[in-house]
Structure 1
């Protein structure tokens, strides 16, 4: 920043008839720097015209202004607070230049008193040559005001009135083709704003959070970590301020809610960096427009993932790098979470994306799930895994590292780790040049046996096959794929068992509360409306239910099936085709037994037609 300050100092202390432009990306901190640093420096510099006086900086946002008169009004209103001293008046020159803007104001008599008159000492006048006008948001003018008019106005200020003008802009966002030609008329120096993020961080946290001493201390202690994490993706100070402001609520609420005896207190050095990292990750994506409270594409599916380039490189599950699956969300995730565990915290996500107020109890529950806390204690297996995780592992010496790695393997063979950790176990065991001299085939076999042994206690993980991707360039590719495949098979069995239980509940629902069943099956926001729940239904029982129901219920069932299988039905529903074909057979048989007239025949014919159409559409689509 010294170079920028020196240029501004030279500009203000020498005669000039041009403006200075400070350009840089949106949110990089240009406005913040001017208001909090540069303005104070300017106030200490004697004016070029009169060394007895010092410059008075004002900042004007051009955002949305549509006429020169509106700009003049904004300049006048910015100067007005300087004129509280009744002996200070506007010089005739400045008053004349701003008169059009002032006339736009109501209560002209009040403002008219501040213009110079014969009774005022000229030494007390404020003239243009002692004012530094900073025009902000240069690229955000209203479409009604042309760039030609604005530059013409600024040119009159710097040439006719000898005013010092500083322009803050993002030149990359200025559209008019003739801008650079016009710029040459008024801009003498154009300075690229390169933010000193470290100094800006110190300034903004003291400015924003001095009233929260505990949080301020946390930010100061974790400054390096926060800056390094944030700057992997962005240097936008507005976004950083947004994230830190929201995290202050998270930090304070969590601290107030958690009891002093809670086991989580012992793990705060691990927990807090993980929480601020997730807040940074979520805040960045939210401000990029990639996620929202409802739009959670992929971000919550990958719940606990180790982002390690040893076994993760966004390759397909068989190691082939087919089509690129990475979108912006995944790219940001790779930057923020490379060589680290990604943990999704719904309570933080919902709060940061504006969906709910922050729920500290929800966060405490999520942390205890992540750390495998039971009865206010962390299971020994996960306590060991935590010690071996990045970056905590670097605290260990070689002897301790070997000791804990052996413990981890013993727990793995007993089935004490979940499916999600299977590749982590292998990678942690062989990293750092395999210090235990493990046989890779035996290691693979032991991990798989442990998975099978612990299968009864595992929960189904919806995105496991996606999360356990294997890098085709890994030296342990074959072993990792074998472990992955074993975990996926176990997970699929867990999924089938879970579906069967869930689908059985849905089947019982239509018998106990048909209206609730109908509502859920018809609501696209309810998962069962998009799942193949009918594949496990007992066809005979469902048909008998239809047979015994009144006409209104029959008609609702017909409409439900019609909506369920549109012209292009989801391939997810393909397993339901056997149910539909068997039901169709029974419906056709019943229709043939009815008389040629009446509501009953109409309903059964409709029922039959909808089922035929559904079967045809599923076959054609798949």
Structure 2
């Protein structure tokens, strides 16, 4: 049944002399109640011929309460008055009981008169038939309404339900006694959108109605009204936040960022509402840690360039913690509709508001800067943000950007993290025949790696953490494995140089106590590989006590200590292998040193 005929059918029923009820049947979330409450009831009231009253079957445990509730709606009875009369009748006082009985008698006479006057002048709308209590037989409830209100008072009755959710009874057989016609409520997305917008005063919706309809229709075969009411509600709040902050911006910029925000909210709200099992990834450490400057990618998920290309369907990716989440987002929304791709941007903090109702407004300023740089960029061919949007470029533009970025690499203009990002992009370009500059990829790769090794010497904790994330993301790929090996070798060389100086200070007596540092396990390799034991321990004027004291003050990670090195040290310190020229005190001190080192053996 077409939606435009629903209203006509309802008013035809109201005008008719049918002794039966009308049924509106539709799935949950399609907007049945919203449509009746916000479209049909106001129109009935405006006509003024018949008065609509509405109740829900949800929450009642017996027929008496349902009947009383309907009567109160018809009569407009005051619930406080009802309670006062009942209380007075129950009090242990002749006067109170008498007053209560008198009031009840007068009320009953008045109500009887009003009930008689209501005949044929009221339409009763009964919602949520499928949610009726298990304490009440649906057959009895329909029978009571038919007998007490349709037959005795001549009320018209409209039932609203989702018949698919009425279990364990033959509803079709039951309804034949009371219900004549059934209207199937299956609204189109356009119809439902119009219904929502009727009660929403945000100018953005009316000014961009066709655009919103296009975006919603592209990603939804049907529309769950509750989901989209939530989308519009979330948008209203966040839109109010950003438009205040953008009061001085150009109108075109404001409208474009509002479109970006709407799509961001549409995607994340829909996924949160309809795929609750994925909600954990909104708050995952991966989602919060990674931030990519792309109009396709941001802090709300961990999509990467290769995900957009769709060529990384490895077992590792399928099995990773976030694969379900990123695949859901990527496969459903991205690269399906140009207008979507040209506007989507995931603003930092929006996911927190959608899930928890909290938005840190300070986050918007940073997001706005990134958004503005993407959609209204100052021309800078070397800005690595823009190569992620290569699909919208011509070959010549992508080549120019790759060349300019390479020039900046050679000049040392990029940070450690920027170089990692460029390297990952160039790997993907090379794998997909999109590496367009004249130098060979191997030549460019060698220069990038050299620059990364230089930057790694002074890498911050944040740099190290970012590299760890890249290792997780590209696990098993040759380029990241090779880079990890080179970093490890360089780090080992640096640590050996640093701790060689420390050991020299220890044995010379010039060492000043410091906190343990990352990588101090290299000490055991230095002691086993160099001549420290011969020069400073296994000699007449040995300094074994200084070394023991130093080692006892250090904190080591046992898993990072070379077993081979420790075994070699212990073998050399063994009494059987010591020079005979050592005195008793020297041997005693070396025994204590041996005990200290044995703490870190694998035994």
Residue number in structure 2 paired with 1:280? 266
Q: TM-score, normalised by structure 1?
A: 0.60
Q: Does the CA contact (< 8 Å) of 1:72 and 1:102 recur in 2?
A: no
Aligned length: 487
C-alpha offsets along residues 422-474 of structure 1, whole Å, 9 cap, x if unaligned?
8988999999xxxxxxx8675697677667656658963766689789xxxxx
Residue 56 of structure 1: CA displacement?
1.4
Q: Does the CA contact (< 8 Å) of 1:135 and 1:167 recur in 2?
A: yes
Tell me which of 401, 411, 415 is aligned to 1:408.
401
Distance 1:270 1:219 in 2: 13
Tell me which of 205, 219, 241 is aligned to 2:205.
219
Q: Secondary structure at the match of 1:290?
A: helix
Residue number in structure 2 paired with 1:248? 236
Q: Kindly tell me: are residues 324 and 489 of structure 1, through their superposed partners in 2, closer, same or farther at Cα, counting changes over 3 Å?
A: closer
Tell me which of 333, 353, 362 is aligned to 1:336.
333
Tell whether 2:291 aligns with 1:296: no
Q: Which runs of 5+ in 1 are unaligned?
A: 46-52, 85-97, 211-215, 394-399, 432-438, 470-483, 504-510, 515-532, 562-575, 594-603, 613-622
Q: Secondary structure at the match of 1:368?
A: helix
Residue 492 of structure 1: CA displacement?
5.4
Q: Which runs of 5+ in 2 are unaligned?
A: 89-99, 298-302, 456-462, 496-512, 528-546, 576-594
Matches within 5 A, 1:172-191: 172-191=164-183
Residue number in structure 2 paired with 1:66? 61
Tell me which of 158, 171, 180 is aligned to 1:166.
158
Residue 136 of structure 1: CA displacement?
1.8
Residue number in structure 2 paired with 1:570? none
Distance 2:168 2:115 in 1: 43
Q: Kindly tell me: are residues 120 and 539 of structure 1, through their superposed partners in 2, closer, same or farther at Cα, counting changes over 3 Å?
A: same
C-alpha offsets along residues 254-284 of structure 1, whole Å, 9 cap, x if unaligned?
22234737xx987545433222211111111
Residue number in structure 1 paired with 2:50? 55
Residue number in structure 2 paired with 1:197? 189
Distance 1:138 1:543 in 2: 82
Task: Tell which deviates more after alignment, 250-259 or 131-140.
Answer: 250-259
Residue number in structure 1 paired with 2:380? 380
Q: Does the CA contact (< 8 Å) of 1:290 and 1:329 recur in 2?
A: no
Q: Kindly tell me: are residues 372 and 67 of structure 1, through their superposed partners in 2, closer, same or farther at Cα, counting changes over 3 Å?
A: same
Q: Secondary structure at the match of 1:16?
A: coil
Residue 302 of structure 1: CA displacement?
8.1
C-alpha offsets along residues 128-153 of structure 1, whole Å, 9 cap, x if unaligned?
x3222222222223333333433333
C-alpha offsets along residues 233-252 of structure 1, whole Å, 9 cap, x if unaligned?
46122221222222222222
Q: Secondary structure at the match of 1:255?
A: helix
Distance 1:184 1:587 in 2: 94
Distance 1:199 1:57 in 2: 23
Distance 1:269 1:192 in 2: 38
Matches within 5 A, 1:429-508: 442=436, 456=451, 460=466, 488=480
C-alpha offsets along residues 53-95 of structure 1, whole Å, 9 cap, x if unaligned?
72211221222322222322432343355x89xxxxxxxxxxx
Q: Kindly tell me: are residues 310 and 256 of structure 1, through their superposed partners in 2, closer, same or farther at Cα, counting changes over 3 Å?
A: closer
C-alpha offsets along residues 26-60 of structure 1, whole Å, 9 cap, x if unaligned?
22211111011111233356xxxxxxx72211221
Q: Secondary structure at the match of 1:246?
A: helix
Q: Kindly tell me: are residues 321 and 294 of structure 1, through their superposed partners in 2, closer, same or farther at Cα, counting changes over 3 Å?
A: closer
Tell me which of 535, 548, 561 is aligned to 1:579.
561
Tell whether 2:166 aligns with 1:153: no
Q: Does the CA contact (< 8 Å) of 1:422 and 1:447 recur in 2?
A: no
Residue 321 of structure 1: CA displacement?
9.1
Distance 1:76 1:610 in 2: 86
Q: Secondary structure at the match of 2:123?
A: strand
Distance 1:136 1:444 in 2: 71
Residue 353 of structure 1: CA displacement?
0.9
Residue 313 of structure 1: CA displacement?
6.5
Q: Kindly tell me: are residues 309 and 548 of structure 1, through their superposed partners in 2, closer, same or farther at Cα, counting changes over 3 Å?
A: closer
